[in-house]
Amino acid sequence: MNTLRTGLLLAALTALFLGVGWLIGGGTGMVVAFGIAVAMNVFAYWNADKMVLAMYRARPVDRASAPGLYAIVEELARRANMPMPRVYLIESEQPNAFATGRNPENAAIAATAGLLRMLSREELAGVLAHELAHVKNRDTLTMTIAATIAGAIGMLANFAYFFGGASSREQPVGPIGVLMVAILAPITATLVQLAVSRTREYDADREGAEICGQPLSLASALAKIERGARVIDNPRAEANPATAHLFIVNPLHAHGVDSLFATHPSTANRIRRLQEMAQAAVAPAAAAAHRRGPWG
């Protein structure tokens, strides 16, 4: 269901982009918008991972430089039957992590130094398994495309706002209409982008818990990261809020905004679902033990 919803949201975002191009410049505007969308997505497909890793000054690590972190990722990748991703360390005290890359063969997982210090080994495994799930499901590419199209819609809206779009004969809407498009289109695009991100987090929690085999460890990690992110700054994330959706927990401090604009689903809801998942796994074993009786 979440996969279908994600597909529909991406289709809506693409349709919105083409629609904005048409409203601003008619048929010519829509063609131009389509060309921009293709070019930006091709660029994002090949370069987004390099850009975001450089943005956070992530440092590549290996078995020699970060043996504990590397060993956990290696074991989880083996369990998930996935290629070993590149592993990076971010020198930030805020506990957090993200995954990036266009596919499982070209993926990277980055964890902050604060995350390694705050979590137990089991909790860290839960977080890294969550990020591997994003890679396995190709969410890193999906969310990059969503962010790219949303950004392109904002660019078109700025063009319309400052330059007024095409001539009146080519423009399906008048000057007031162009102004309304310039104001409302970026807001709508952002809402759709954030909805895509929130949808994928629940699936990554579920599959990450299956990979590490410990739903409650991931739940415990989410609670700790949420508390840490609220009180510890991540200056690079604050300077680049468009990347906030990549992290396992929102790295920004503007948590008071309405949930409609949230980059992530409620952490409490995510923890509740993981707890339910753990209970569902325990129930069959308990029922089987009850049927066997105290002597097996």
Positions annotated as catalytic residues are 131
CB atoms within 10 A of CB 235: 10
How does DSSP assign 213-281, residue by residue? S-HHHHHHHHHHHHHHHHHS--HHHHH-GGGGGGBSS--SS-TTS-GGG-SS--HHHHHHHHHHHHHHH
Burial class (CB in 10 A: 0-12, 13-18, 19+), 125: buried
What distance in Å separates the CA atoms of residue 49 and residue 135, rounded to the nearest whole number? 12
Of 33, 48, 164, give the one whose Cα is nearest residue 99: 48
Strands (E), 119-226: none
Number of residues that make up the chain: 296
Helix 121-136, helix 215-231: angle, nearest 10: 100
CB atoms within 10 A of CB 166: 18
Q: Which two tokens stand for residue 163?
A: 């330059």
Of 155, 191, 139, give the one whose Cα is nearest residue 7: 139
